[in-house]
């Protein structure tokens, strides 16, 4: 049964992946057609074509390898300085440029002269290239907000999950009491498992983050109001100064960092809590910020990835994952002993996270990514406006094809990184903790 559920989870994630790719390419396709650019192909996947159908002047299809997708637009690059589409050079770098230019015009038909991508104004090209990643962002936001506002997310609550028997400094990294340890203030005050803390020092507290802050700010006597068996009970505790984990400001903890603060001595229970629109938007903002920080930190994670793939290093929970690793996690989600609605929510979060990553990654201003084409169009706009302001001749379209050698280098780096992540995902995968 576990194997069957694992396979089902992988299949469900694969369907979500294919939809996300198709949704991304639909953004490019719809805006390209809106601006009159001819699009001969709209494909989901790479490799051999499994299914295709032509409608109008576009062939729609699905390919065998679901690791990406593309649309083919006519005239992605302008002709060379001599006005010719094809030319040959003995230089390998020039050859790359000429091959790219030739491919952009290989399906040119009579009448297509007015339907070329490069002939559109820069702002239109920016919209066409931005539309793909933007569709992923829309999908990510819709899923995240939908799940958080309807189902909720796993959150630390004000309910007591465990009462500490004694006072232990966080850096000691132990959970059992030893001779000489003092009883925790929570234990001494009579706090019990299942109590819900609703007030602190006479002030109502509705969430764990607020309660945690109030506890850490207090050293000395404190009145704690709890709900127990349907009744409200006031408990009196004397909070002490103790070494505790440093928080990140959002209720989480900073690994390996400690501070001295007020200490009560209990562990909050975790529960599924629905989020309001404002809280959901705040959490989305945090996810975007964390996503950007993770993208910037990507090069620094290569040594750990290499050690996890080829050495005896542990695979960290924040380690980069590829499609294979994400699919494996998707399979594990369906094997967890949790209610089906929790499994669905986790799977939706996984797909939403994938879409958010697609948006951020594609916005990098590097060819062959969408962000590279956006950067080229913006630079062309700056050049033309500057020439107009200085009353100089129009410099014409910016020839993005000249950057193709750089694009091949970037693509090579991405491919090597992808292979490294794939190997790590197979031999030492990230697992649900």
> Do 13 and 332 meet the contact criterion of CB atoms below 8 Å apart?
no
Residue 394's CB is within 10 A of a number of other CB atoms, namely 9
How many angstroms separate the most distant Cα atoms in the chain? 90
Residue 364's CB is within 10 A of a number of other CB atoms, namely 15
Q: Say whether 25 is catalytic.
A: yes
Q: Measure the CA–CA gap between 68 and 58, rounded to whole angstroms.
A: 19
Q: Measure the CA–CA gap between 421 and 425, rounded to whole angstroms.
A: 6
DSSP annotation string for 280-294:
HHHHHHHHHHHHHHH
The length of the chain in residues reads: 433
CA nearest to 330, candidates 186, 429, 199: 429
75 by Cβ neighbours in 10 Å (0-12 / 13-18 / 19+) ranks as: buried
Residue 366, both tokens: 């590097």
How many angstroms from the chain centroid is the CA of residue 402? 31
Cβ neighbours for 16, distance < 8 A, ≥ 6 positions apart: 330, 347, 350, 351, 354
Which residue in 25, 98, 332, 380 is the catalytic one?
A: 25
First to last CA, the chain: 21
Helix (H, G, I), strand (E, B) or coil at 327: helix
Rg (CA), the chain: 28
CA nearest to 132, candidates 17, 28, 16: 28
Q: Please say whether the dihedral angle defined by the alpha carbons of residues 92, 96, 102 and 106, taken in this order, is positive or negative.
A: positive
Active site residues: 25
């Amino acid at each position: 049964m576990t194997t069957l559920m694992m396979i089902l989870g992988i299949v469900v994630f694969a369907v979500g992946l294919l939809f996300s790719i198709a949704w991304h390419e639909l953004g490019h396709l719809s805006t390209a057609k809106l601006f009159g650019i001819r699009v001969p192909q709209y494909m989901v996947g790479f490799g051999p074509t499994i299914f295709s159908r032509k409608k109008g002047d576009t062939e729609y299809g699905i390919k065998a390898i679901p690791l990406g997708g593309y649309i083919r637009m006519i005239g992605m690059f302008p002709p060379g300085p001599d006005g010719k589409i094809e030319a040959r050079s003995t230089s390998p770098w020039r050859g790359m440029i000429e091959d790219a230019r030739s491919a952009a015009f290989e399906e040119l038909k009579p009448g297509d002269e007015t339907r070329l991508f490069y002939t559109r104004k820069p702002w239109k090209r920016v919209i066409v290239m931005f539309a793909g990643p933007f569709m992923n962002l829309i999908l990510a936001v819709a899923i995240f907000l939908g799940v958080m506002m309807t189902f909720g997310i796993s959150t630390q609550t004000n309910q007591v999950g465990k009462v500490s028997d004694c006072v232990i400094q966080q850096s000691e990294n132990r959970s059992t009491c030893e001779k000489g340890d003092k009883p925790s203030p929570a234990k001494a005050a009579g706090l019990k498992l299942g109590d819900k803390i609703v007030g602190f020092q006479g002030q109502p507290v509705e969430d764990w983050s607020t309660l945690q802050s109030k506890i850490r700010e207090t050293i000395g006597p404190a009145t704690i109001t709890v709900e127990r068996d349907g009744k409200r009970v006031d408990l009196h505790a004397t909070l002490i100064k103790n070494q505790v984990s440093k928080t990140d400001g959002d209720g989480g903890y900073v690994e390996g960092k400690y501070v001295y603060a007020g200490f009560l001595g209990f562990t909050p229970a975790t529960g599924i809590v629905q989020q309001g629109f404002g809280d959901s938007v705040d959490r989305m903002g945090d996810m975007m910020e964390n996503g950007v920080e993770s993208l910037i930190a990507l090069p620094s994670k290569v040594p750990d990835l290499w050690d996890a793939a080829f050495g005896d290093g542990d695979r960290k929970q924040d380690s980069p994952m590829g499609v294979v690793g994400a699919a494996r996690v998707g399979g594990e989600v369906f094997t967890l002993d949790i209610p089906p609605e929790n499994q669905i929510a986790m799977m939706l979060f996984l797909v939403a996270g994938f879409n958010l990553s697609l948006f951020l990654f594609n916005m990098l201003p590097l060819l062959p990514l969408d962000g590279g084409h956006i950067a080229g169009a913006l630079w062309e706009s700056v050049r033309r406006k500057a020439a107009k302001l200085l009353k100089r001749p129009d410099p014409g379209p910016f020839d993005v094809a000249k950057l193709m050698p750089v694009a091949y280098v970037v693509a090579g780096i991405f491919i090597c990184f992808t292979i490294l992540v794939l190997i790590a995902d197979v031999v030492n995968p990230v697992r649900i903790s």
